[in-house]
Structure 1
Amino acid sequence: MSDPLTIVVDIEGTTGATGFVVDRLYPYSRERFAAWIDTHAGDPEVTRAVAQVRDALGEPDAGTDRVVRALNDWLDRDEKATPLKTLQGGIWAAGFASGELTSHFFPDVIPVLRTWHAAGHPMYVYSSGSVSAQLAWFGNSPEGDLLPLFEGHFDTENAGPKRVAASYEKIAGAIGAAPDRIVFLSDLAAELDAARAAGWRTIGVRRPGEPHYDRGVGNHPEVATFDQADRMLQQ
């Protein structure tokens, strides 16, 4: 008997609306970058992120104002820069903990995640958002703490870029699953291509109204909801 399929999910555009992240979470972090950096100067994660920004700028002595300008520039271009995601993750985690923020999920997602967990499918998250942001996101859903549903979390720092096959190979090795027994759900064709190149199964989640809808999901199996993905996995 085969091992149960391992399921890896993306966040933006797949489990939750991109608009919520862009319109609610991005401005929330933008307003708090400077204060967060200055008040968490002794935090190793913040120190590392600031150093990474300075390295990217080629300005080892850049002050907080310069670092914040760089962060906001990346934010304006929606770049998946690791230090940006690290700092956003800390800020968002504090916002979720305080009750100022609650994460967003499409209505079809949480019931299916619970179904997959109950059926014995190991589940993981792989997102460009930092692990700390993922923990805050899934720990503060409209239906409470979803973290017990997941075995682990991967981001661009502990796994690598999402459009590179080697990142998916690294994740497969870390979780100890055969590549052909892993299913990745994402709304981005380039990410699905990379996962398939690493031997994974793929499902493209194409939701009307999402930014990447018109681009499609290439030649990957396509669904509009997690209910459809569930039926696909049972075939």
Structure 2
Amino acid sequence: MGALPVPSEVRAILLDIEGTTTPIAFVQETLFPYIKDNVKEYLRTHWEEEECQRDVGLLRKQALEDSSLEGAVLIPLESGSGEEELERVIQAVVDNVHWQMSLDRKNTALKQLQGHIWRTAYAAGHVKGKVFEDVVPAIRKWREAGMKVYIYSSGSIEAQKLLFGYSTEGDILELFDGHFDTTVGPKVESESYRRIAASIGCATNNILFLTDVPREANAAEEANAHVAVVIRPGNAGLTDDEKSYYSLISSFTELFLPSST
């Protein structure tokens, strides 16, 4: 690792979040436990709201699609009024969310509800988004050099904006030109990166994707995007083959932009 020259055709830097801009520990030890501990209270408080009902509807539909999977939890419709019936349905939603999270599912239905729960947490000051200290200064430098900067994460776009809008560095949303989540496609499929390039309005080889996950890097590379794998404390280790194959950085400051000279 050390200085990594950015190819001259690169016009946009696409960033993963977990393990790249943000410690995995923040996601695993702060964000996810918050959902598990607070989902029931959130549902009880917001149940009558249209947004909450939409979220539950999406989860119910996802649960039907998952019904053949081991341990899947279906979400019944309310078959009457009364506190007991409401509690029964809410508990099914809670059990479904816990089951999905135990499998590290990344579908839109789950991510949408998680994003809305986190929104209340960030707004109340219960949670602040954590970013590595090299992230903000490096992105400012890239932008000064004329580079566009985008986020691509399996967390919903709303969850991304909350993390950066209520971050330990303050509101840093202005640093990003756009956000992508799994509605554009899974991060391990090359087609997703082609869709992102089309959305940005550039060729895939105008993009440099930074991620900690070799499978994602591989998918981006298959789409002809440039990639670098980010080594951060707490990230999963790489095989010797992966270490020798991929360009590696341990800090955003190691990216060397020709246009900034």
Q: Same fold (TM over 0.5)?
A: yes
1:123 matched to 2:149: yes
- Unpaired segments ≥5 residues, structure 1: none
Partner of 2:200: 175
1:101 matched to 2:127: yes
Shift of 1:152: 0.9
Shift of 1:82: 2.0
Which of 64, 67, 92 is the aligned partner of 2:90?
64
Structure 1 contact 4–120 (Cα < 8 Å) conserved: no
Shift of 1:217: 8.4
Partner of 2:32: 26
1:189 matched to 2:214: yes
* Mapping of residues 1-235 of structure 1, within 5 Å: 5-41=11-47, 43=49, 45-58=51-64, 59=74, 61=76, 63-157=89-183, 159-210=184-235, 212-215=236-239, 218=242, 219-228=245-254, 230-231=255-256, 233-234=257-258
**Which residue type is aligned with residue 15 of structure 1?**
T
Shift of 1:215: 4.6
Structure 2 contact 207–226 (Cα < 8 Å) conserved: yes
2-side partners of 1:216 and 1:131: how far apart?
Answer: 34
Structure 1 contact 163–194 (Cα < 8 Å) conserved: yes
Structure 2 contact 23–232 (Cα < 8 Å) conserved: no
Shift of 1:143: 1.7
**Which residue type is aligned with residue 162 of structure 2?**
A
Q: Name the stretch that deviates more: 40-49 or 18-27.
A: 40-49
Shift of 1:60: 6.0
Shift of 1:189: 0.6
**Which residue type is aligned with residue 168 of structure 1?**
Y
Shift of 1:4: 5.8
**What percentage of aligned pairs have identical amino acids?**
38
Structure 1 contact 9–124 (Cα < 8 Å) conserved: yes
1-side partners of 2:94 and 2:147: how far apart?
Answer: 41
**Which residue type is aligned with residue 234 of structure 1?**
P
2-side partners of 1:67 and 1:46: how far apart?
Answer: 11
Larger Rg: 2
**SS of 1:78's equivalent?**
coil
2-side partners of 1:60 and 1:25: how far apart?
Answer: 24
Structure 2 contact 23–234 (Cα < 8 Å) conserved: no
**SS of 2:182's equivalent?**
coil
2-side partners of 1:215 and 1:54: how far apart?
Answer: 39
